[in-house]
């Protein structure tokens, strides 16, 4: 039997880093989970057990730490670009590198009504994300976003006019709780990547634009609101050319209090995690 090696890559995953930056009078705290993946001339390690072109994954882990120490980047995108540049300039056998990074959010503790300069607490389960790749002698490709952003609105949400067959038990409603965990990823244009943009500022503004739309949109379905949020992101800036959105419908079920001789005018609900609806789409410029 004749075989050959097809696609392959390797790397290091779940590398956790805390970076403490000390300023006069206050500290900044970053926590990252980093994955680094390499593609290149690695055939002989698979076919012959020849490891002469393999950068050990333990070395990759150490590189993640050292670049975190040395980088002057103030954004996760900037750090990931520095990490990839470090790998590619020192490893010609690597044809491309990809860094996938999550930034876990900390916020300053408030003591006596003021942000404390050196004490922090987790804000939420929301994470900032980026996926950056580059081939040797080529430009970066950057997709950034957010995940784990749990939001809920208590008005301006309904669901009517859907298909009803013999197995449909869901009632129509024009007044429901709309809860979801937002995942959004936006792809930067080549021109934006080539310029010195402020990734943190773009992220903040896109997040604000999408949340504003979520809160104010008169939602006839999760799909409609998802699309409107993607539209608002694209309308906000020309630095991105597409937005991927994933918004599971986290159901909050109205409790039937009739058996207790009580009415429940959308007052008492039970939140559920599963099963949940899964709604996703990519919105691009026409």
Catalytic residue among 61, 104, 183, 251: 251
Rounded alpha-carbon distances, angstroms, from residue 3 to 6, 9, 46, 47: 9, 18, 12, 10
Known catalytic membership, residue 282: no
Catalytic residue among 57, 71, 74, 189: 57
Known catalytic membership, residue 57: yes
Catalytic residue among 12, 61, 104, 250: 12
What is residue 35's three-state secondary structure?
A: strand
Rounded alpha-carbon distances, angstroms, from residue 112 to 71, 109, 115, 116, 119: 35, 10, 8, 9, 13
Cα–Cα distance measured from residue 68 to residue 79, given in angstroms and rounded to the nearest whole number: 7
Known catalytic membership, residue 4: no
Query: Mind giving me the DSSP string for 50-65?
Result: --TTPPPHHHHHHHHH
SS (H, E, C) 140-180: CEEEEEEEEEEEEECCCECECCCCCCCCCCCCCECCCCEEE
Burial classification of residue 91, based on how many CB atoms lie within 10 Å of its CB (0-12 exposed, 13-18 middle, 19 or more buried): middle
List, in order, residues 6 or more apart from 208 with CB less than 8 Å away. none
b/e 10-45 (16+ beta carbons within 10 angstroms → b) = bbbeebebeeeeeeeeeeeebbbbbbbbbbbebeeb
Within a 10 A sphere around the Cβ of 145, how many other Cβ atoms?
Answer: 23
Active site (catalytic) residues = 12, 57, 251
């Amino acid at each position: 039997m004749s075989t050959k090696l097809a696609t392959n890559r390797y790397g290091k995953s779940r590398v956790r880093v805390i970076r403490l930056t000390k300023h006069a009078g206050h500290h900044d705290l970053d926590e990252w989970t980093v994955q680094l993946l390499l593609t290149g001339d690695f055939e002989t390690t698979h076919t012959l057990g020849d490891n002469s072109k393999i950068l050990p994954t333990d070395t990759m882990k150490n590189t993640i730490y050292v670049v975190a120490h040395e980088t002057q980047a103030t954004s996760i995108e900037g750090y990931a670009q520095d990490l990839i540049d470090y790998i590619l300039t020192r490893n010609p056998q690597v044809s491309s590198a990809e860094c996938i990074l999550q930034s876990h959010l900390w916020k300053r503790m408030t003591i006596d009504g003021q942000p404390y300069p050196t004490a922090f607490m987790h804000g939420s389960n929301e994470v900032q994300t980026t996926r950056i790749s580059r081939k040797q002698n080529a430009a970066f490709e950057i997709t950034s976003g957010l995940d784990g952003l749990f939001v809920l609105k208590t008005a301006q949400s309904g669901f009517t006019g859907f298909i009803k067959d013999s197995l449909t038990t869901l009632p129509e409603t024009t007044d429901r709780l709309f809860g979801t965990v937002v995942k959004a990823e936006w792809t930067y244009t080549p021109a934006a990547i080539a310029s010195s943009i402020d990734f943190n500022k773009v992220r903040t503004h896109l997040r604000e634009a999408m949340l504003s739309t979520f809160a104010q949109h008169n939602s006839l379905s999760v799909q409609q609101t998802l699309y409107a949020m993607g539209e608002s992101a694209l309308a906000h800036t020309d630095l991105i050319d597409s937005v991927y959105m994933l918004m599971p419908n986290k159901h909050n079920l109205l409790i039937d209090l009739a058996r207790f001789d009580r009415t429940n005018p959308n007052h008492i609900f039970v939140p559920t995690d599963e099963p949940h609806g899964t709604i996703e789409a990519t919105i691009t410029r026409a």
